[in-house]
Amino acid sequence: MSDYEWIDNIFRVQQKSFGTWSSYSKDGAGILTALSKEHLISATRWYLQAKQEGFPEQTIQCNGNAEEKL
């Protein structure tokens, strides 16, 4: 039995130390890390789809000012 599992024949997931899960591309490049296998698979699928189709536009903007009156 291998220590990783292929998902959709696109990426693989592997449990790491301290119980975290990591995903890897076919060429072995790390993609994401998550606390549960289910969240990792879902997030990696979303990330790869967004990377292929384009990420959603950011709707929240920050001007970087942190003015606080005391």
> Which helix H or strand E contains 12, and what residues bound it?
strand 11-15
66 in a structural domain:
no
Which tens digit of pLDDT belongs to each residue from 31-64?
Answer: 999 999 999 999 999 999 999 998 877 777 767 7
Q: What is the pLDDT of residue 1?
A: 36
Number of domains in the chain: 1
Distance (Å, whole) CA 62 – CA 13:
35
Q: What is the pLDDT of residue 5?
A: 96
62 in a structural domain:
no
Enclosing domain of residue 38: 4-51
Q: What is the pLDDT of residue 4?
A: 92
64 in a structural domain:
no
39 in a structural domain:
yes
Considering the entire predicted model, what is its pTM?
A: 0.75
67 in a structural domain:
no
59 in a structural domain:
no
